[in-house]
Structure 1
Amino acid sequence: MGSGIGDGADTSFQDAALAVWDSSEPGTPTMVLHRQCWALALSPDGTRLYVGTAEDQPTLAVVDVATGQTLQSTPVPRARLLAPGPEHPADGWTVVVNGIQVSPDGSTIAVAEGTVIGLYASATLARIGELSWHHGLVRDLRFSADGRRLASGADDGLAVVWDVARKVPIAVESGGSGPVRAVAFAPDGRTLYSGGDDQLLHVWDLDGERRFLTVLADPEPIRRAAAAIPAPDGSTVLTLGQGVGQEPGLRFLDVAAGAVGPALADPNGSALAVWLPPGYDRVATVADSEVRIWDRASGRRLLARAVGDSTVTAFSAPTASDLIVADADGTVVRLDPGSLDPTGPAVDLRHRVTAVAGRADDRTAIVLLDDQQAAEVDLTTGRVISNRDLGFVATAAAVSPDGRRLAVGGSTGQVGLFDLTRGAWLAPPAEGRQLYVSGIQFAADGGTFVASTVDSSVTLWDGGSGEMIGRINAGTVGSPARAVILPGGEDALIATRDQGVYRWSTHPDDWLSFACQVAGRNLTPTEWHQVLDPRPYAPTCGAG
């Protein structure tokens, strides 16, 4: 089959034949056509061949298998068929695109058109829709057995599952470390398989019942979402960045119902927010120097007030009576969450604040600055109690419930645990990932804490020693995750920017049991490192 796509392709690669065989008599093709093409597919009854031609103007053509005659054709946007031809014929596989698929009932044709997928009515070749999510060349398409879903794999490393009728993505999976060149559904549609340049077969659970991370909610992804921030009680996730039209906005996702509320306009809103205790029925957001309070149930904006003249850069709400706000000029002030009135003097630290962690004593907070300092401040008197040099720029922090330890994350993925009583590291900052830590939260008993990063990973740490217990990736690669340890401390809830919400057991024994169940054998040391690092290797299913 010829598969030269776009201008400049090697002509010897394009000069090839298309052939159709009768599987009951495979010795000789029933039809042979000599024409350039970039993809082809048979109709379910085998009487029609749909061909993407590469002659002059790219077209989608319908060929009668019995006669070899072209019955009809329609132009396909040339600008979207941008795959360079190979320099050598032997490298032709690098640009092969399985770019045409016919639905099982024969009514719809899906065509890979660069980074988008065109949908055509087979009877008329009329274009009836377009699927857009990928940002790399689409390499493979597959319909599910019932035709309700379409899977696509692309050079962006993503495998996407689409609802064909609604023309929206319903699952976006990271298909590996390179281009995804092949996708396929299991017959029952509950499993998707993908493969590509990483030479691995990836198996995806589409119904959410067989995953290491239990799926709590999986609504349609929101393309322009900037952040997803779960309430500490796990009831709701606030999604920031998707508003009305092109304006910034926010949405509330009810985790139990799996339902996303309407987009609420939040002009100039940022990706910064904090849930307010004790009931977490309100949330504070930021727009430049203005703090806004929203009601979760009604979606109404209850309050809005400018706090100083500089952009707010950090928040903390350690108690029901304290909302600590810090800005780019280094000013820190404590507000009453019910009125947004100041409840103490402002503290001027003269450096941009990158994170703030309030204590539950209604008095003090740890403020992290862009000059690598950590300042302990008294918000009642406005006094700076102490300054410590961390040796790195902190981007997230939390104080343990007893007020004695500070967990801190940095701009290059460091996570460390500091003893505030002794003024010394319990665990010096250890590199967790290369991208910055966006959130840290302690369990209610202080025994563990979670650190979230913008590369979709979440790490679990011992709250007393600062040793890493485990790590997991949630959602699609590059979709920032935010985690909280739920009341009771048994599980963590993880929300990702692509709208997924997951539950992760905080007990390593559960991880081992799951790994044994899935693999049916002991993991190899390499598999162990990929899944259960940093724990020391041990037989997954026991010594026997």
Structure 2
Amino acid sequence: MRLVIGGWLALGLCPPLAAQRDTLVYRAAIAAADGALAAGDTRGARRWLNAAPSRERGWEWGLLNVRSSNASIHTFPLDGAPSWAVAISPDGGTVAAGTSSGEVRLIDRATGATRATLRHAVGVVYDIAFSPDGAVVASAGAETFVKLWNPATGAVIDSLSTGRRRPLDVTFSADGRRLAASLTNGAVMVWELPERRPIRTLTGHVGGPPVPGVAILPDGRIASASWDQHVRLWNPDTGDTLRTVGPGYGHSGPYAAWSDVAADPRGRYLAAVGRDGLHIWSLSDWTERTIRGIAADVPTVAISPDGQLILTGSTNQRVELWHADDGAHLGSFVGHEGAIRSVTFSGDGALAVSTGDDGTVRVWDIARMTAAVARHSSAPYVALWSPDGRYLATGAHDGHLNVYEPSTGRFVRDVNIGSGPLVNLMWTTDQGRIIAVSERGQVKVWDVRRPGEPAAFLDSAYAPTVSAQSADRRQLFTVGADRTLRIWDGNTGAELRRLTLEGKATPRSLGMANGRNTIVVGWSDGSAEAWDLAADRLVGRLQGTAVSIRSFVGLPGGRNVLLGTESGELLVWDMAASTPGRRLRAHDDRVTGLSLSPDGSRVVSTSFDNVARIWDVADLTPTLTLRGFANYTHCSPFSPDGRTLAICVSSSKEVRLFRAEP
């Protein structure tokens, strides 16, 4: 002991002060790393994370560690030749890169070996595309034709004439039956495959400037992006222009010449890039969303196969990842040492591929940058992990109960409970059944193992307002309009007993404070009460705080609870006191949910203010803010192993999964 204390004294510190110093250093490092990632400085983020004291590292460190470890999975050098084009085969096994010397290199993604080199006679290869079945590679180069290649043999299949103009961009239709190429004279040529017969030349861009981008929509329509500052939508069968967006040629405003265009594979929107940033148009009503300030120039854009993500590459040497629905910036892939000229997704959406002026092709892991997304048919209100962490059950506004398997990214069950929005879910002790509680107070049970129709679980004449489950899942607790706490058997639904509560307002929240002994009820008038269930007696009452108690979580030790309010505050309540000990301004709007990590070290809060915050339980200091949500966040349960956080996002109808690794 003397040696330990002497060591601290030799450093001019006593043990408590050293611990405080480490905590302050850690939080400063986390804030700096988060800021560095937001600015796209991955290397800087890594430096700050490495500087964080190891014994202080918590969940937020693990999350930033994942996001900053975004070094490319593969880097393929092209012998110093700048590259303007990249594509990846549908099976993900072959990467094709076009160089400034007229070569198309087919690279084995697993080994980095060059399988074949396809040569144009002169100049730059501007674009490359694989056919949907992977049997053909199309390339657009400095000659006046589009070349079709057999990637297995490297042989030329055909050369499709583009007249006297060079092709700049080339793309296949989703069914592989058509090929389109944009030209330097402002036209777009379309061929029928496999006959390789030209069927239409689309003209109409003002002044005939180059058209550097072309895309074919799932329904066969064609989009083109031109230097005349227009994006046009065409009917390739008639040659008619269906829609024109953008300010038009000669415009002196913020718009500038377009560099590329991409179409959502699901047909919902178009995305185009240029010197003005990223523009996204809804194909249903043509509303436009613009993301400016990415870089001085953004030459390339791609959309993931499921339409949820957008990639951009820019002259600032970054590959940026965006959420398609709300335009949220999800992160930057950093590593190129020159402008990015081409980006694409792998066929399964798991990888991003980029190339540019530094003469390298880089392959990136999408999962390291973005939260996994589980799409829903309606706004999810509640989420609950199965005790073994294999499944995530979610309840939505339309009454649907979904069971999602995060490890595979698939929905394994979907059932319509049919009783209005679902507000609470609970697993039974055997993990085989899920108890679902609706906003209308109906409680039903559904067997996951033998899916059929949900069955009534509690007395059908009783409609609870709030509900909760014991830690061991053996009991279910409800409070209804009669302000009576009812305790039910968690497996059979049989009523065990009742307690008459003292509250006079509407119940808003309910939960266990410490294991299975103490339960807390929060009321709409800002009061709360705690009951010892072993003795059936009131052990604490919080006087009205004038704001409704909307959410609650018990803190380690069993004495204090954390309450989330309608006004966005967090209240720390010692259940032996009648007033809150601390009031924290946590959010700018209603706190919709609170969740404690399994190790008891972190609490996450969600809110109507569109953010989620991570808090250090030791002193209730925020350690990290998760942003980028289009609308309010609802629920935030940690997985049983504490590594994954599920956050419900209402407006975009999804649950985002944030994974942290030590």
For these two proteins, the number of residue pairs brought into alignment is 406
For residues 335-374 of structure 1, the C-alpha deviation after alignment (integer angstroms, 9 at most, x for no partner) is 1112222222242533211111224564541110000101
Provide the residue aligned with 2:434 in structure 1.
283
Conservation of the 8 A alpha-carbon contact between 2:382 and 2:424: no
Q: What are the equivalent positions in structure 2 for 1:391-410 lying under 5 Å apart?
A: 391=545, 392-400=547-555, 402-410=557-565
Matches within 5 A, 1:80-479: 90-91=252-253, 93=255, 101=261, 116-117=269-270, 136-137=287-288, 144=302, 159-160=322-323, 174-175=328-329, 186=343, 190-191=351-352, 207-211=365-369, 215=371, 217-219=372-374, 221-231=375-385, 233=387, 234-241=389-396, 248-276=399-427, 278=429, 280-287=431-438, 288-300=440-452, 301=454, 303-306=456-459, 310=463, 312-328=465-481, 330-348=483-501, 349-360=503-514, 362-378=516-532, 384-389=538-543, 391=545, 392-400=547-555, 402-421=557-576, 425-426=580-581, 428-455=582-609, 457-473=611-627, 476-478=629-631
SS in 2 for 1:73: coil
> Closer, same or farther in 2 for the Cα pair 1:434/1:277, shift >3 Å?
farther
Query: In 2, Cα distance between the equivalents of 1:322 and 1:352?
Result: 23
Q: In the alignment, what sits opposite 1:483?
A: 636
Tell me, yes or no, if the aligned pair for 1:483 and 1:492 is still in contact at 8 Å: no
After TM superposition, the structure 1 = structure 2 runs for residues 530-541 of structure 1, keeping only pairs within 5 Å, are none
Q: Distance in 1 between matches of 2:644 and 2:303?
A: 36
Listed one character per residue, the Cα deviations across residues 33-84 of structure 1 (whole Å, up to 9, x for unaligned) are 98769x9945779xx99589x9xxx97377xxxxxxxx942363x7xx798x
Helix, strand or coil for the counterpart of 2:570?
A: strand
Please state how far the C-alpha of 1:90 moved relative to its aligned partner.
4.2
> Displacement of 1:409 after TM fit?
1.3
Alpha-carbon distance change, 44 to 100 in structure 1, aligned in 2, over 3 angstroms: closer
Partners of 2:518 and 2:530 within 8 A in 1? yes
Instruction: Give the superposition deviation at 1:375.
Output: 1.5
CA contact (8 A) 1:160 1:172 kept: yes
* Counterpart for residue 41 of structure 2: none
Whether the aligned pair in 1 keeps the contact of 2:213 and 2:259 (CA below 8 Å) is: no
What value does the CA root-mean-square deviation take over the aligned residues?
Answer: 5.1
Separation in 1, partners of 2:386, 2:512: 15
Cα–Cα, structure 1 residues 362 and 138, in superposed 2: closer, same or farther, change >3 Å? Answer: closer
The 1:309/1:134 distance shift into structure 2, 3 A limit, reads: farther
Change (3 A) 1:152 1:21: farther
**Against the structure 1 CA distance between its residues 395 and 40, is the aligned structure 2 distance closer, same or farther, given a 3 Å change threshold?**
farther
In structure 1, the residue matched to 2:114 is none
Structure 1: how far apart are the matches of 2:382 and 2:257? Answer: 35
Deviation at 1:447, TM superposition (A): 3.7
**Matched AA of 2:239:** S
Question: CA 1:463–1:422 in 2, change beyond 3 Å: closer, same or farther?
Answer: farther
Query: CA offsets, 1:300-343, max 9 Å, x none?
Result: 53543346655523434333332111235534322111222222
CA distance in 2, matches of 1:49, 1:360: 60
1:73 counterpart residue number: 239
**What TM-score results when the alignment is normalised by the length of structure 2?**
0.49
**1:437/1:282 CA distance change after superposition, 3 Å:** farther
Find the aligned partners of 1:218 and 1:240 in 2 and give their Cα distance: 15
> Deviation per CA, 1:110-140, whole angstroms, max 9, x where unpaired?
7999x7459xxxxxxxxxxx98699942569
Distance 2:428 2:266 in 1: 49
Q: CA deviation at 1:400?
A: 3.1
**Which protein has the larger Cα radius of gyration, Structure 1 or Structure 2?**
2
1:150 and 1:462 map into 2 onto residues whose CA distance is 32
SS of the residue aligned with 1:343? strand
Higher relative contact order (CA 8 A, sep 6+): 2
| Contact 2:563 2:571 survives alignment (8 Å) | yes
Q: CA deviation at 1:482?
A: 3.1
Select 1:60's aligned residue among 228, 234, 258. 234
CA gap of 1:455–1:223, structure 2 versus 1, over 3 A, is farther
1:427-485 CA distance string (max 9 Å, x none): x2212222322322334453433323355533333334333333334x74326253334
Give the % identical residues. Answer: 12
Cα distance change on mapping 1:326 and 1:111 into 2, 3 Å: closer
The question of whether the paired residues in 2 share the 8 Å contact of 1:240 and 1:271 is answered with yes
- Contact residue 606 and residue 612 of structure 2 kept, 8 A: yes
Correspondence for 1:504? 660
SS at match of 2:443: strand
